[in-house]
Structure 1
């Protein structure tokens, strides 16, 4: 069984003088927005600062002045961004950022990054960049090119783990595994003390959790199948500091780190990333919107030969 865990992401800022996303926008609007990319809302939780929606394909977080949405699978997230622009109006937008990372099977996607930014360019002038090498892990970033200047305190982090250990994969594909058992395995109480959690176990495999505390958020999405295992962690908490725990649990063969406005990225990765991981790709760029973006891909060098993977010729092309 194959599922594309790689996510697309959009962050949209609005003018708080014209619109408050927490009080002026109904849940029906967010449900329609999510439906535009062929996903649906599974559950919701909120506090005074943030509302979190757990989706059939990843997550949506809403604050008074912005929202962040991530979708995986074969969704077309750009359709949801277009819906927001059409319904709310360009005049209320302050800034839009749109991201896509390399997929396992890009040919199965309904669009590519180029298609998506052509659509966005109908509404917004912007710039696009690629972080990472084309023949390896990489992340595309499109951002609106206007007078917006990012607040240096607005930091976000992404940790994307590939080929998790066989022990982790076997645990997370155990039949009948409950949400509480997955929380314990991922050590979420240690990782997120004091946070409210909302999670869902997918059938036959897969797990998603949203966590919020005041304005802080963290979301984890797990695709545990051994042939395409992938775990994404996205947060405004410092994931570099938390990387040793996450990596110890998952033991991935490789992982990516992407940060916005973490100015001590190099010092922190030197301190917190275990020495047995080697950096294969390092990219640093200050965008015209004042975000300083770092991207790093780490690999675990192979010391022993492995066996070739036998393919089922009669199955669909996802297996090939």
Structure 2
């Protein structure tokens, strides 16, 4: 069974004159998410944020901000337009749309270029591609308004292997065991978690503490296994430690580290070699950092006896 793990991501920040976004209500999100082909599976909340585990990734809603991540063949652009029309573009302080290159792009409902054409009917902005077109790459469209001062760090892992990867494909999975292996409750003891185990495989988890969030999505199917983890934690060393731990337990063949106004050091991310890196200055305050890594591999040679 193939599932496209590559994600699409929107972030919307509104001004202080907009009504509390958390009051949009369940019916609004049910209708908006249906346009993308997604639905709500589970919800958790605190005083600052509502976090939704979706049939395809996650949604987080704060008083003045929305973060929506979808994967698979979802049409996130349709949901984006619904939100923009409901909130009103005159109240936008910041809008960004990111999309990672898909393995089977021809199965998607639109191309990034098509999405940007639709968005520009509502928002002025700039569009970029980071990475080679014939390899895996990242797209970004962002709006013109004032600097966002938003922050997030993301780790995207490809071709996982080892004990945990095998377990995630087994028939006897249980989400409590997966959570124990991830050790998120130890790494982030103050966070409240909400997770979901898909059938026959696949796993998603959200965590929130005050304004902070972490979200993780696992697509373990071969030959396109993929794991993503994202957080807005301000402590870069803590983020580095979490990412390093995840690299150790998932043992990916390659991975990307992405930072928006958060720059993780290029060295020390597992046993690896950086293949490429980019710093994209979006304005005088906001920067996007992307570094691509590949696992260090050493071929084990078998001696061949020569019968002379």
What TM-score comes out, normalization by structure 1 length? 0.89
Alpha-carbon offset, residue 100 of structure 1 = 0.2
Structure 2 regions of 5+ residues with no counterpart? 301-308
Residues 1-320 of structure 1 mapped to structure 2, 5 A cutoff: 1-22=1-22, 24-146=23-145, 148-151=146-149, 154-237=150-233, 238=236, 239-262=239-262, 264-265=263-264, 268-270=265-267, 272-274=268-270, 276-288=271-283, 290-304=285-299
SS in 2 for 1:34: helix
* Preserved CA contact (<8 Å) 2:21 2:63: yes
What TM-score comes out, normalization by structure 2 length? 0.92
Could you list the per-position Cα deviations for residues 245-283 of structure 1 after superposition, in whole angstroms to 9, with x for gaps in the alignment?
010110000000110112x53xx333x413x20111100
Which residue pairs with 1:312 in the alignment?
none
Q: Distance in 1 between matches of 2:188 and 2:5?
A: 23
Which residue pairs with 1:316 in the alignment?
none
Which residue pairs with 1:308 in the alignment?
none
* Preserved CA contact (<8 Å) 2:17 2:91: no
* Preserved CA contact (<8 Å) 2:266 2:274: no
Q: Distance in 2 between matches of 1:256 and 1:7?
A: 13
Moved more, 283-292 or 227-236: 283-292
How many residues get paired?
A: 296
**RMSD of aligned C-alpha atoms?**
1.5
Alpha-carbon offset, residue 64 of structure 1 = 0.8
Alpha-carbon offset, residue 52 of structure 1 = 0.2
SS in 2 for 1:36: helix
* Preserved CA contact (<8 Å) 1:254 1:299: yes
Q: Distance in 1 between matches of 2:111 and 2:276?
A: 23
* Preserved CA contact (<8 Å) 1:240 1:269: no
Structure 1 regions of 5+ residues with no counterpart? 306-320
